[in-house]
Amino acid sequence: MEHTVTLNDGVKIPQIGFGTFQIANDGSTYKAVKEALDLGYRHIDTAAAYFNEEEVGRAIKDSGLAREEIFVTSKLWLQDYGFEKASAGLDTSLRKLGLDYIDLYLLHQPYGEVAEAWRALEQGKAQGKVRSIGVSNMTVKIWQSFVPHFKTQPSVNQIEYNPYCLQKEIRKLMAQTHTTLEGWGPLGRGMGTLLHDPVIDKIAKAHDKTCAQVILRFEIQDGAIVFPKSSNLQRMKSNLEIFDFALTKEEMDAIYTLDQGHGTHDPDTPGVAQFLLDNFDVHAND
């Protein structure tokens, strides 16, 4: 896909991708990813804790596309932090995906033995198992605890992001390391009103576009990488049709005013790490 941004390590990444969070590993992920690739998506986002890496890998293999045409992101789960466990976790993701390398590999949650897990990702990059490495769900407080001590700066921070949650403060820190924002929940997952916001609706009518298309276009123009998730073929197609129009400065400014300064998930909340460990066991079937 032509619309790429260049990360701080020089790697080019498609600015719009296809997200696979909460798509089941009962054939549904395989079908959705295969359809996404057929439609023109070239960036697929998965994770160990999505339990669908194998189906993502099979869809990539069966797509008929050359490996280098597809940008693949996966993420290491909290259970596998620490240097040895993280190294093994990366190898497990590679095996499940059936790939020789992963384009972008992230620390999925910023708790526990983050520094040692990061060192393992740095090693994985040096070994050619990963092209870029990054973090996810890092707030200002968490970022300041870990990132200044990293030898390699994260290429991305994948965080909740949409017009109601613009992440202004963490983005100031990320700018210092030229770390790119990847937005999960770009259409306001859990914020049902976003897709019906009157400001966005007015702009959508002016461009003969849907509210979802206007939101995604705003995010692209705001410099973010986004991967809307849908298993609905028509919506998957519609989410890609955002490069034939542009928002004016006035329209961008109008959407910027919608920021509420928070999202649906606060990684700084006490007990989040334990909750995640209690509810996602990536070794349940080992």
Residues known to be catalytic: 50
CA pair distance 281, 283, nearest whole angstrom: 5
Q: Would you say 217 and 242 are in contact if contact means Cβ atoms under 8 Å apart? A: yes
Q: DSSP character for 4?
A: E
Strand, coil or helix: 261: coil
Give the list of residues 6+ apart from residue 24 with CB closer than 8 angstroms, or none.
52
Give the list of residues 6+ apart from residue 8 with CB closer than 8 angstroms, or none.
153, 155, 177, 178, 179, 180
- Length of the chain, in residues: 286
Cross-strand partners of 159: 183
Q: What is the DSSP string of 160-210?
A: E-BTTB--HHHHHHHHHTTPEEEEESTT-TT-TTGGG-HHHHHHHHHHT--
Burial of 64 (0-12, 13-18, 19+ CB in 10 A): exposed
Q: How far is CA 239 from CA 70, 110, 172, 227, 255, in A?
A: 18, 30, 28, 9, 18
